[in-house]
Chain A
Amino acid sequence: MSSPQPRPDALVVDHLDIAYTVRGNLRSAVRDVSFRITPGQAYGLVGESGCGKSTIALALVNYLPRNGAVTGGSVEIDGTDVRSLRDESHRRRRARTVSMVYQDASRSLNPSMRIGRQVAEVFTVAGADRRQAAERAEQALARVRISDPAGVMRRYPHQLSGGMQQRVVIAMALAAEPALLILDEPTTGLDATVEAEVLDLVAALRQEISTALLFISHNLGVVARMCDRVGVLYAGELVEQGPAREVFTAPRHPYTVGLLRCIPRRDHLKGHGVLDTIPGFLPAPDADVTGCEFADRCALAEDRCRTDPPPMYPVGDGRGSRCHLHERAHELPRSTPPQARRAPEAVAATPLLQATGISKTFRSSGADVHALTNVDIEIRAGETLGLVGESGSGKTTLARVLLGIVEADAGAEVALDGQPLADKTHDRSREQIKAVQIVFQNPDSALNRRHTVRRLVGRALSKLSGLRGSTRDQRLLELTRSVRLADRYLDLRPGQLSGGLKQRVAIARAFAGAPRLVVCDEPTSALDVSVQAAVLNLLAELQGKEQVAYLFISHDLGVIRYLSDRICVLYLGRVLELGSAEAVFSAPHHPYTEALLSAVPTVDGSTNERIKLDGEIPSPANPPSGCVFHTRCPRKVGEICETDEPPLVEQEPGHAIRCHIPLAELRTMQKPERPAPAAIEPVA
């Protein structure tokens, strides 16, 4: 672009309306959305599921689903109306104007074509010959920091890791140096350290090229880190926009205020009190809302909020808020009482569950995959043990061994109250079976969609508690009420419930037999932030009431921190660090924990120094020699790390670290006082 006049805005969205046709009815998905992105700027669109953010992205590239259509307003990218680019004859211009990177990179690449050819295509279509195109493809891959571009070019997509695939997709998207790059949840589904690498890459590339970014995410922390400006979407409307830092520190719309309060901050612990939540539900897609879309869930709402739709009020400094009461937004009352919870009663010194020497080797296509190697853990009655780890760490396998779904290798011992637990659920006593239960990640998978809530919970009651008839019905009501499930839901099936309600049903089922230990396997990562907070509150409340212990698995450090008393960090099937939440979260800690903590983007934009990890997570089929972390460790001391596996040593009382570096040295390396920032990484 060598035009002499100033470059037009990269993106101008003006009063955009989008609707879907569902069974002959037009259902509005996006209403009256306006925003602009100047050249080279990064703009973040945030919102929970169903807010219309992906719909907007698809409209920008003229790729709405068949039943979707822009029903009003206009979109200009780099001075050109996108509708004029829809024509086949404009396809090459379109490619130079806008490109897009979306969630699952593995699905964005053609599975039957080599990477090199897929990347080179971008150049051949622009007129390069084969050799030139191949050369430029190699450069493009080098630009996204792929260390062996020539080698990667010869591969097929399935031979690359998720992070690598996403780099390739980004390389292709940037190859034509478009005016606008849309990133739709580009790191969702990636591990924390890999996500951080991809984000670093995008941030670095922004320095090199003039492309403007539209960054779409449900993750406020990611947007806060990557974007100059941010727009908050709710139910298809842009409710607030402005500079990212200001919107996140001084929100002017009650929805933004509520959303930010739902997020467990790193300094917020379950003992401190209840998380705030946003009550109610999104309006149904066909609901006829006359006033403000958020009025039903807003504690500030006045009469006019229910009758007059608020316009986007300018609130200074390039900010806008679609709220009649934007000046009082921060006064939004809490939806849950902030009272501090009773401090958990001193947990018993005797362990509830003790697992020693747990190893698990899977055989997969002829190779041994070591999912777990000699793991020892104990869980005390009434405490929460948080289990942290990335993919391949073995955290789910460990939980399954304890539950008796997966049989550990010989030599493993699991004991409940000192009594040995059989390998298989079937061989355990009824008391033991009901004592250990689970809440799964995805309630859609965990609940039989053909059974009613009554049957789902009732069956668990009769099977685990042995209750029959009216005593069972009585207990069923108590149980469902204790998870705040209204009686009217009892005869519905899971498909008729929202995600949060479904997870409550799953929790009720797990508690049917008065369990001593409940494994919570990422129980909130399929939920939106506002729903997550309510579920976390419920889990904390039940723990206080029932004195149940949790083995809480999560990749979200904020959530782990909120709920856990002690934390266990797993990497490639080995415990790298184990200690009280306090000790693990504050320095000194294992270099891996350190990197993990620094990888988490924070919502207040505080830039804590990132500890960068090199390379990919190795495969558990072929773990590195010596310390399994040495291939990526930024604090590797020397050859000893490659040859000798360090022991897990209790460095201070109740705090064990598996590292060759002595504790004192780690202490000086890692700055002791990190300003405890709010950790956010709400939903996977």
Chain B
Amino acid sequence: MSATAAPIEPSGAVDAGSASTLRREVWRELRHSRSFLIGMTIVLVWTVCAVAGYHIGPYTPFEQNLNAVNTAPSGSHWFGTDQVGRDVFSRVIAGARSVMLVAFAATLLGTILGTVLGLITGYLRGWVDESLSRLIDALLALPVVVTAVLVVAALGPSSITVALCIGVIFAPLIARTVRTAVIQERELDYITAARLRDERGSYIMFSELLPNVMPPIMVEFTVRLGYAIFTVASLSFLGLGIQLPTPDWGLDISQNISVVSAGYWWEVLFAAAAIASLVIGINLVADAIEKAME
């Protein structure tokens, strides 16, 4: 963004000590950002649910009460019960675990793979870059959900498959961002200076370049995390992720969507709201981090 009409800071010769580091600056910005605080609160609440959700609900998520199937929300069942009489509230609380775990693992895998790929393609250029970029293009020619459907259908549905699959699909997307940042960065003179000292490629990539491309990687990580939750939930909904009877938002929705027309709305509404709130929460955090890094 051009700095002309954008907010600027009056500059002065910066004396030592009067300026704070980037990290502190970003942190101060974040603490004053409303969207960061709201987003972070949502994410933290769901993290607590993911860790302890099986134990803090009023019932266990598996407990079936065939005398109370499809009951509307009430004092004893805040979110009502489902077709087999399980407490929806307890299942929503416990359902945070599978989706968050899988999404986090997938994003972490994708980020690490993508960062390494991006550093190599961006720094080495040439045929390495050329062939890897082609591969990335090929992977991007299909929508993530379609690719995931194919892979999971071929390998069979399971959480691990979903995490691996999303991680591997994310890797080239993240690599692309990292590569762009690296290509800009490698034009800077400190890289030339390193080459004039005859530094090894690995030193230049991991000690010189990596710390400088961390900010976009961090932004990318949070953005991708939101998107991973989105995708994991979607795949569960399609029945391609975690299997019954594990409590899972997407899976519960697809199990109960058929009875919605009979008026049992609570069996899907709360799980849907849970997914929406978690993704929006992460998006708020990502948005705030992106703004603060500018």
Contacts and interface: CB of A to CB of B under 8 A. Distances in A.
| A, B from the same assembly | yes
Interface of A: 20, 22-23, 27-29, 49-50, 52, 55, 63, 65-68, 107, 235-236, 281-285, 403-405, 425-426, 428, 430, 433, 437-438, 440-442, 445-451, 459-460, 463-464, 486, 488-489, 492-493, 495-501, 509
A459 B198 CA distance: 12
Given A65-B5, A425-B198, A448-B190, A50 B19 contact: no
Contacts of A65: 4-8
A463 B199 contact: yes
Nearest to A66: B7
Contact of B13 (A55, A445, A464, A498): A498
A464 B197 contact: yes
Given A29-B10, A450-B211, A493-B21, A440 B196 contact: no
Contacts of A459: 197
Please list the 3 inter-chain residue pairs (A to B) with the smallest Cβ-Cβ separation, ordered nearest first: A450-B211, A281-B13, A446-B189
Contacts of A426: 195, 198
A341 B199 CA distance: 37
28 contacts: A22-B7, A22-B9, A27-B9, A27-B10, A50-B13, A63-B5, A65-B7, A68-B8, A107-B2, A282-B12, A282-B13, A283-B12, A284-B12, A284-B18, A404-B196, A430-B198, A433-B198, A440-B189, A445-B188, A445-B189, A446-B188, A448-B212, A449-B212, A488-B16, A493-B21, A496-B16, A498-B13, A509-B193
B193 A450 contact: no
B11 A49 contact: yes
A626 B28 CA distance: 63
Nearest to A55: B10
A29 B13 CA distance: 14
Where chain B touches its partner, the secondary structure class is: loop
Given A67-B7, A405-B192, 4 more contacts: A281-B15, A425-B196, A440-B193, A446-B190
Given A49-B11, A282-B12, A496-B17, A446 B196 contact: no
A334 B211 CA distance: 43
Contacts of A433: 196-198
Nearest to B213: A450
Contacts of A23: 28, 32
Contacts of A440: 189, 192-193
B13 A499 contact: yes
B190 A67 contact: no
B197 A497 contact: no
Contacts of B196: 403-405, 425, 433, 437-438
A463 B208 CA distance: 14
A22 B16 CA distance: 20
A448 B198 contact: no
B262 interface: no
Nearest to A433: B198
B141 interface: no
B127 to A, nearest CB: 18
A441 to B, nearest CB: 8
Contact of B8 (A20, A438, A441, A447): A20
B89 to A, nearest CB: 42
A459 B193 CA distance: 11
A489 B15 CA distance: 10
A496 B19 contact: yes
Contacts of B5: 63, 65-66
Nearest to B199: A463
B193 A438 contact: yes
Contacts of B197: 433, 459-460, 463-464
Contacts of B188: 445-446
B142 interface: no
Nearest to A521: B189
Contacts of B7: 20, 22, 65-67
A498 B4 contact: no
A356 B5 CA distance: 50
Contacts of B189: 440-442, 445-446
Contacts of A285: 9-12
Nearest to A443: B189
Nearest to A21: B7
B14 interface: yes
B22 interface: yes
A428 B198 CA distance: 9
Interface centre among B9, B15, B21, B190 (most CB of A within 10 A): B190
Given A405-B195, A426-B198, A495-B22, A67 B8 contact: yes
B18 to A, nearest CB: 5
A66 B6 contact: yes
A526 to B, nearest CB: 11
Contact of A497 (B16, B192, B211): B16
A493 B14 CA distance: 12
Contacts of B8: 20, 65, 67-68
A492 B188 CA distance: 20
A500 B14 CA distance: 10
Contacts of A509: 193
Nearest to A64: B5
A495 B10 contact: no
A50 B193 contact: no
B194 to A, nearest CB: 8
Interface string B1-43: 0101111111111111111011000001000100000000000
Contacts of B208: 448
A463 B8 CA distance: 39
Interface in B160-199: 188-190, 192-193, 195-199
A235 B13 CA distance: 10
A313 B192 CA distance: 52
B193 A20 contact: no
Nearest to B20: A496
Nearest to A27: B10
Contacts of B28: 23
Contacts of A281: 12-15
Contact of A20 (B9, B12, B19, B32): B9
A53 B2 CA distance: 19
Contacts of B11: 49-50, 285
A172 B226 CA distance: 49
Contacts of A486: 16
Interface centre among B5, B15, B32 (most CB of A within 10 A): B15
A169 to B, nearest CB: 15
Contacts of A492: 16-17
A495 B15 CA distance: 10
B177 to A, nearest CB: 18
A447 B9 CA distance: 23
Contact of B16 (A50, A236, A438, A489): A489
Contacts of A495: 14, 19, 21-22
Contacts of A55: 10
A498 B6 contact: no
B23 to A, nearest CB: 10
